Amino acid sequence: MQAIPMMQKPKRRAARIACAAALLLSAASAAHAADSNLVSTQKLRWQTAQALAAEAVRVCASEGYSVTATVVDPSGHQQAVIKGDTVPLQSLSVSYRKAYTAYAYGLAFDKDSTSALIAAKVTRPLDGAVLATEPEVLFIPGGVTLRTANRTAIGGLGVSGAPGGDKDEACAQAAVDRFKGDFH
């Protein structure tokens, strides 16, 4: 066994004390978090939400479609809205409802788009209730669930105005694919 010079013993002891203090602080923080009455949610920064909506509008414009794109946050409220230059009035409410549906029902049923929700037949559960009659819900292609890398749902993106929900959804998905690395 080799002898440790006297100068290194206090350094190691200080390092051990610092490490123990850090572990105690971490445990105390975790215990406090478990005892807390507060809930934290993740959402996109407004700049990212705005860029995401603008990208969806840009992608559709490159295909010749003027659309509205809406991002909803985890509260279900509009966080960003970008309207193309010649979109019909109803595209504003339709894009919001697609985003809302993609987020709320994507979260509930672990699906990534309004098309996936429709394909899974979640619009009419086994008990016969019709989810499509809920306010703000719209089971039409064109909404994409926003998720972090670990699949936490953090919002939705809805697009409306292209000639067909499949085209709306393609624009939304292209925007999500471009920005999903920023969802952290």
Q: Domain with 70 in it: what CATH number?
A: 3.30.450.150
pLDDT at 24: 35
State the pTM of this model.
0.78
pLDDT at 184: 84
Q: Could you tell me how many residues make up the chain?
A: 184
Same domain, 73 and 106: yes
Number of domains in the chain: 2
Same domain, 34 and 53: no
Whether the pLDDT of residue 105 is over 80: the answer is yes
pLDDT at 156: 98
β-pair partners for 147: 153
Same domain, 19 and 93: no
Same domain, 141 and 172: yes
Same domain, 6 and 29: yes
Instruction: State how far the alpha carbon of 145 is from the alpha carbons of 72, 85, 99, 115, 152, in Å.
Output: 10, 25, 7, 11, 10
CA 66 distance to own-chain centroid: 24
Same domain, 174 and 100: yes
The tens digit of pLDDT for each residue in 5-60 reads: 554 454 444 344 333 333 333 444 444 556 789 988 899 999 999 999 999 999 99
Q: Which domain holds residue 11?
A: 1-40
Portion of the chain with pLDDT greater than 90, in percent = 66
Same domain, 80 and 107: yes
Whether the pLDDT of residue 83 is over 60: the answer is yes
Same domain, 19 and 66: no
Task: State the chain's mean pLDDT as an integer.
Answer: 84
Same domain, 69 and 104: yes
Same domain, 3 and 84: no
pLDDT at 151: 94
Same domain, 11 and 63: no
Whether the pLDDT of residue 133 is over 80: the answer is no
pLDDT at 134: 77
Q: Are 15 and 23 in contact (CB under 8 A)?
A: no
Same domain, 12 and 65: no
- Least confident range of 16-20, 70-74, 94-98, 153-157: 16-20
Whether the pLDDT of residue 91 is over 50: the answer is yes
Of residues 129 and 98, more confidence is placed in 98
